[in-house]
Amino acid sequence: MNEFLASNILWFKALHVFFMVAWFSGVFYLPRLFVNHAETTSEIVSQQLKGMEKRLLYFVTPFAIFTVVFGLILIYIYGAHWFAAAKWLHIKLTFVIFLLIYHGYCFKLVSTFQQDKNIRSGKFYRIFNEIPVLMLLAVIILAYVKPTYG
């Protein structure tokens, strides 16, 4: 294992958590913009929201990428044997994959709003907003509790 990586593991953990928090600030806020956009009847407000949605999504996307990169670095540092034994991590990574799909789907939704083709209600986006909240809760429990499965 690379000594530089091993000796800086706490930095990599801190950066992983930092970028995750930054990513989720956007992932939590973007669907709230969708709620407002779906419910507005004002063209001026709609145009403002289009800009906000697009800028926010493009702003937080690098945070998602850095979250994944630093997570992969941590897995590499801990090694293949640890990874194989860490069943909780496999479940966590499954949630992370779903979160990345969720994030990707937000690009489709932003495009739909940009083209004025949204057909979903504010209620749909309120429910849509709860998905990452529940997944983040699961990821945090898995990462910090590290439940074992016999």
pLDDT, mean of residues 7-20: 96
pLDDT in tens, 26-56: 999 999 999 999 999 999 999 999 999 999 9
pLDDT in tens, 86-129: 999 999 999 999 999 999 999 999 999 999 999 999 999 999 99
Average pLDDT, the chain: 95
Percent of the chain with pLDDT over 70: 98
Residue 4 has pLDDT above 80, yes or no: yes
Residue 74 has pLDDT above 60, yes or no: yes
Residue 118 host element (H or E):
none
The backbone region for 42, taken as left when phi is positive above 0, alpha when psi lies in -120 to 50, beta otherwise, is beta
Query: How many residues would you count in the chain?
Result: 150
pLDDT of residue 96: 97
pTM: 0.93
Domain limits of the chain? Answer: 3-84+105-127
Instruction: Give residues with Cβ within 8 angstroms of 7, minimum separation 6.
Output: none
Q: Which of 32, 41, 28 is nearest to 124 (CA)?
A: 32
pLDDT, mean of residues 42-71: 98
